[in-house]
Amino acid sequence: MFRVKVLCIKFSQKYYVKSFFITLIAGWFLLILNPATAQTTNDIGLTQAERDYLRAKKVLRVCVDPDRLPFDGVDEDRLHVGLSKDYFDIFSHMLGVQMVVPEVQNWNDLIIKAKSRECDVVSQINASEERQSFLDFTTPYFYLPLAVVTRYDRIFVEESLEGAGTQFAVIKGDIAIDKIRQRYPGVVLVEVKNNIQAMELVYDGDVFGYIGAQGAVAFAIQSLNLNKLAVTGSLPLRYELSVATRNDEPLLGSAFEKAVLHLDPKEGQSIRDKWIAITIEKVTDYTLLWLTLLVLGTVLIVSLYWNRRLVQANKKIRDTLTDLHDVQAQLEDQNRVFKRQSITDALTGIYNRLKLVEDLSYAIKRSKLTKSEFSIILLDIDNFKLVNDRFGHLVGDELLKAFSSLLVSSIRKSDIVGRWGGEEFLIICPVTDLQGCENLAEQIRKRIAEHKFAEKRVLNASLGVAVHQQYENADTMIARVDKALYRAKKNGRNRVEVDRAVKH
């Protein structure tokens, strides 16, 4: 079993109080100067009947999947959180109606409550013929590809979905199940309760992989102590998430359709960037309640003297904008750090597997456009397990760092190197034919064998080489170079083997 790791960013109290006060003061002055900035229900073209319906309704019950962060979820206080919460804050403002979140145990419980009319609205859901018997669906407002999670020691290709005995975990009741079975009739799916159970099965090797929403599975891997797992592939399928409303009250569905169609694309992109790029836990701090009351009281006092202190207020606004620019610069610096961490292997400091997959896909697209060749090298340190067993993992980690530095100094400026997983490394060689890549691999092999690591230790490596074939995808190319590496191991190690498949 493993423990959940919470990702959380905390500012110092002094800095947070200052930023919070400055932001509220600036927002109050902007509202005074331009009170017509807020969007109202009239802005989205509601009919009189729709406005009367919403006015009479007053409160909408929004049912939320409690276990699908970063897209949908509830916190310990049963409050709506996640990407959909930001969207529904906008919808609430557009429609001028309050929204509450009833208690829902899981996705199946949500569907049951929607059928029994205990939900007025479902925050994010795929349309289906069966669900249309009790729900109306808006135009989709969020699209999400399906991703595949496996262990590092298992290479995923799309053909794995129908391999003999290969099993994949999916969330029970997920509408993607029908799409997967329709495209891959022979697939073996194991239905589980939630992300955590699915990850456990993959981690323990009980299933080959887990298929789920791209952003959600990446969030789960980061939030759980699962250093053996990674997103190793994707499927040409996606979720098309809509707002669903009870179909016995059609005015509710037509009002939400207008709200969805009037979403600002820039605002929607900002919400997606916020939740998919990085997830920040909201920390409850009751001192903020008192701080808010204090700030609101201060704003009320300032408003009484507004006419006499207009000059001072203008100066405060200029100072506020300066401080906000400083805060923005700090946040941009933090985002750059997070982006660098997301593509870097934590131990060796070189690119990680996620970045290598991205660069390999780009190299394939570039090769198709320019008709130029490129090759890859997959190498594995020979008998590295014996090093860990004999000297311990700390010594092994130091050798991996030194080995990575040696690889970086051994390749060309145009080449890309990263850690593929464990003691495996991948090198992408742009504009390089098979012979040129084989020569480079042999040079690297010799340099590794001749290098004296710490304590005069000597390491050897086996290398596989493959050149990109026309119309070939990344998974197939990796599978070929992996077979070449396997031959190098089988034929005695410390050698280079080349995949010489005929081009098509």
How large is the average pLDDT for residues 369-379?
94
Rounded to 5 degrees, φ, ψ at 316 are -65, -40
Residue 323 lies inside a defined structural domain of this protein: no
Confidence band (pLDDT; 50, 70, 90) for 287?
low
As a whole number, mean pLDDT of residues 13-27 equals 44
Pairwise CA distance, residues 378 & 458, whole Å = 20
Residue 445 burial (CB count, 10 A): 21
Number of structural domains (the chain) is 3
Please report the sign of the dihedral spanned by the C-alpha atoms of residue 275, residue 278, residue 279, residue 282: negative
In a domain, 26, yes or no: yes
The domain that holds 69 is classified in CATH as 3.40.190.10
Q: In sequence order, what are the beta bridge partners of 464?
A: 378, 497
Distances in whole angstroms, Cα of residue 229 to Cα of each of 94, 150, 153, 418? 42, 6, 9, 17
> How many Cα atoms sit within 13 Å of 476 on the Cβ side?
10
Could you tell me the CATH number of the domain that includes residue 455? 3.30.70.270
Dist CA 477 CA 426 (whole Å)? 12
What burial class does residue 273 get, using C-beta atoms within 10 Å of its C-beta: 0-12 exposed, 13-18 middle, 19+ buried? exposed
- Same domain, yes or no: 418 and 284: no
Rounded to an integer, what distance in angstroms lies between the CA atom of residue 1 and that of residue 203? Answer: 10
66 with 194, same domain: the answer is no
Which residue(s) pair with 80 in the sheet?
74
Dihedral in degrees, nearest 10, Cα atoms 158, 162, 167, 169: 60
- Do residues 59 and 44 share a domain? yes
251 and 116 within one domain = yes
Element (H, E) at 377: strand 374-381
Q: Which domain holds residue 264?
A: 13-139+242-294
39 in Cβ contact with 33 (< 8 Å): no
Active site residues: 423
* pLDDT for the residue numbered 72: 86
Q: Is residue 74 within a helix (H) or strand (E), and if so which, with residue range? A: strand 72-74
Please check the confidence at residue 3 and state whether its pLDDT lies above 70: no
The 10s digit of each residue's pLDDT in 48-103 is: 999 999 999 989 999 998 887 888 889 888 899 988 999 999 999 999 999 999 99
Among 273, 294, 315, give the residue marking a domain's end. Answer: 294
Shared domain for 135 and 153, answered yes or no, is no
Buried b vs exposed e over 391-420: b needs ≥16 C-beta within 10 Å? eeeeebeebbebbbeebeebbeeebbbbbb
Q: Which residue has the tokens 């930023």?
A: 19
The pLDDT score that the predictor gives to residue 31 is: 42
Beta bridge partners of 235: 146
Assigned token pair, 105: 């145990």
Please state the φ and ψ torsions of residue 118, each to the nearest 5 degrees: -80, -10
Of 149-163, 206-220, 270-284, 474-488, the poorest mean pLDDT is in 270-284
Contact indicator for 40, 95 with CB cutoff of 8 Å:
no
Closest CA relative to residue 466, chosen from 453, 454, 484, 452: 484
Q: How many residues does the chain have?
A: 504
Query: Are 184 and 265 in contact, with CB atoms under 8 Å apart?
Result: no
Note the pLDDT tens digit of each residue in 411-458. 999 999 999 999 999 999 999 999 999 999 999 999 999 999 988 899
140, pLDDT greater than 60: yes
106 domain residue, yes or no: yes
Only one residue has tokens 């979403």, namely 263
Per-residue model confidence as pLDDT tens digits over 291-346: 778 888 888 888 788 878 888 877 888 888 878 877 777 777 776 777 778 899 99
DSSP characters over 454-499: GGG----EEEEEEEPPTT--HHHHHHHHHHHHHHHHHTTSSSEEE-
Q: Which of 477, 381, 466, 457 is nearest to 422 (CA)?
A: 381
Same domain membership, residue 133 and residue 182: no
Which of 246, 266, 268, 271 is CA-nearest to residue 256? Answer: 246
114 shares its domain with 257: yes
Q: Do 247 and 224 belong together in one domain? A: no
**Do 269 and 371 sit in the same domain of this protein?**
no
Domain-embedded: residue 4: no
Position 204 scores a pLDDT of 87
Domain limit, last residue, from 241, 268, 283: 241
For residue 3, give Cα distances in angstroms to 196, 210, 226, 279.
10, 19, 9, 18
Hey, what's the torsion of the CAs at 181, 186, 192, 195, to 10 degrees?
-70
In this prediction, residues 206-216 reach a mean pLDDT of: 84
Q: Specify if 191 maps to a domain.
A: yes
Beta-ladder partners of 224: 4
